[in-house]
Amino acid sequence: IQKIMNVVISAAKDTKKLGKEDPRRIIHSFKVGLAITLVSLFYYFDFLYEGFGVSAMWAVMTVVVVFEFSVGATLGKGVNRAIATLLGGALGVGAHRLASFTGEKVECIMLGLSVFLIASMVTFIRFFPKLKARYDYGLLIFILTFCLISVSGVRDDEVLEMAHRRLSTILIGGLATVFVSIFICPIWAGKDLHNLTANNIEKLAIFLQGFGHEYFETTNDKNQENKASMDGYKTVLNSKGTEEALVNFAKWEPRHSKFRYRHPWDLYLKIGALTRECAYRIDALNGYLHSEMQTPMETRAKIQESCTKMSSECSYALKKLASGINTMTCSLPADAHILNAKAAAKKLKSSLKPGLWPETDLVDIIPVATVASLLIEIASCTVKIADSV
3-state secondary structure of 68: coil
Length of the chain: 389
Contact with a second copy (CB under 8 A): which of 90, 160, 175, 369?
A: 369
Determine the distance from the C-alpha atom of residue 50 to the mean position of all C-alpha atoms in its chain, rounded to a whole number. 43
Beta carbon nearer to a second copy, 26 or 133: 26
Query: Rounded distance, CA 80 to CA 86, Å?
Result: 10
| Tally: H helices and E strands in the chain | 17, 0
Q: Any idea what DSSP says for residue 357? A: -
- Using the rule CB under 8 A, is 296 a contact of a second copy? no
Q: Which stretch binds a second copy (CB under 8 A): 93-101, 113-121, 212-220, 310-318?
A: 113-121
Contacts of 38 (CB under 8 A, 6+ apart): 176, 180
**Residues in 19-48 that interact with a second copy by CB under 8 A:** 19, 25-26, 28-30, 32-34, 36-37, 40-41, 43-44
Contact with a second copy (CB under 8 A): which of 1, 5, 330, 362?
A: 362
Q: Which residues of 60-80 are buried (b: 16+ CB within 10 A; e: fewer)?
A: bebbeebbbbbbbbbbbbbbb
Contacts of 208 (CB under 8 A, 6+ apart): 282, 311, 312, 314, 315, 318, 378
Query: Rounded distance, CA 137 to CA 66, Å?
Result: 10
- Using the rule CB under 8 A, is 98 a contact of a second copy? no
CB 313 within 8 A of CB 340: yes
Q: Which stretch binds a second copy (CB under 8 A): 52-60, 194-202, 247-255, 335-343?
A: 52-60
Contacts of 181 (CB under 8 A, 6+ apart): 31, 35, 67, 71, 74, 75, 187
Contact with a second copy (CB under 8 A): which of 240, 258, 336, 339?
A: 240
Beta carbon nearer to a second copy, 67 or 316: 67
- Using the rule CB under 8 A, is 294 a contact of a second copy? no
**Residues in 252-291 that interact with a second copy by CB under 8 A:** 276-277, 280-281, 283-284, 287, 291
- Using the rule CB under 8 A, is 352 a contact of a second copy? yes
Q: How far is CA 25 from CA 22, 63, 246, 254, in A?
A: 6, 17, 17, 22
Q: What's phi and psi for 65, nearest 5 deg?
A: -80, -35
- Using the rule CB under 8 A, is 292 a contact of a second copy? yes
**Residues in 140-199 that interact with a second copy by CB under 8 A:** 140, 143-144, 147-148, 151-152, 154-155
**Residues in 210-239 that interact with a second copy by CB under 8 A:** 237-238
Q: Which stretch binds a second copy (CB under 8 A): 221-229, 255-263, 320-328, 349-357?
A: 349-357
Amino acid at residue number 27: I
Write down the least CB distance from residue 150 to a second copy, Å.
Answer: 9
- Per-residue interface string for the shown chain with a second copy, residues 321-340, x marking contact by CB under 8 A: --------------------
- Using the rule CB under 8 A, is 361 a contact of a second copy? yes
Q: Which stretch binds a second copy (CB under 8 A): 203-211, 305-313, 328-336, 373-381?
A: 373-381
- Using the rule CB under 8 A, is 101 a contact of a second copy? no
Beta carbon nearer to a second copy, 62 or 331: 62
- Using the rule CB under 8 A, is 61 a contact of a second copy? yes
Contact with a second copy (CB under 8 A): which of 87, 91, 94, 112?
A: 112
Query: Rounded distance, CA 251 to CA 314, Å?
Result: 32
- Using the rule CB under 8 A, is 344 a contact of a second copy? no
